[in-house]
């Protein structure tokens, strides 16, 4: 039992450190997130590796706004699978447009 408690304490300390590193929570902002996707798409289409840095800078915003699909986008960008990343962006944009045409 003591081993379990020690492990729990270590986990709590590690989680606290992660929270400190991650900084303040970022709120979802669909308009700003869509603007980032608009910047990323032509970079990805041109195999411009600066897309990786752009994604990293906006990752918190994208995750807060799009959740798991943004996680998938990031994985594809980090793997330099730019065609798949472009497909993900197209799916996000289509979903965004549909939700605004049809209402919330």
In a 10 Å sphere around its CB, with 0-12 CB exposed, 13-18 middle and 19+ buried, how is residue 81 labelled?
middle
Q: How many residues does the chain have?
A: 104
Note the pLDDT of residue 21: 58
What are the structural domain ranges in the chain?
30-102
- The closest alpha carbon to 66, from 37, 24, 44, belongs to 37
pLDDT of residue 9: 75
Tell me: pLDDT of 53 over 70: yes
Tokens 């990805």 correspond to: 44
Q: State how far the Cα of 5 lies from the Cα of 32, in Å rounded to an integer.
A: 43
Rounded to two decimals, the pTM is 0.71
Kindly report the average pLDDT of the chain as a whole number: 86
pLDDT band per the 50, 70, 90 thresholds, residue 23: low
Q: What is the pLDDT of residue 24?
A: 57
Phi, psi of 73, deg, nearest 5: -60, -45
């Amino acid at each position: 039992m003591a081993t379990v408690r020690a492990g729990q304490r270590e986990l709590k300390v590690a989680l606290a450190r992660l929270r400190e590193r991650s900084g303040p929570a970022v709120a979802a902002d669909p308009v700003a997130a869509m603007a980032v996707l608009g910047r990323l798409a032509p970079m990805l289409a041109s195999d411009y590796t600066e897309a990786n840095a752009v994604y990293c800078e906006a990752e918190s915003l994208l995750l807060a706004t799009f959740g798991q699909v943004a996680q998938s986008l990031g994985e594809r960008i980090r793997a330099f699978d730019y065609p798949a990343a472009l497909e993900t962006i197209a799916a996000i944009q289509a979903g965004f447009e549909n939700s605004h045409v049809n209402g919330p």
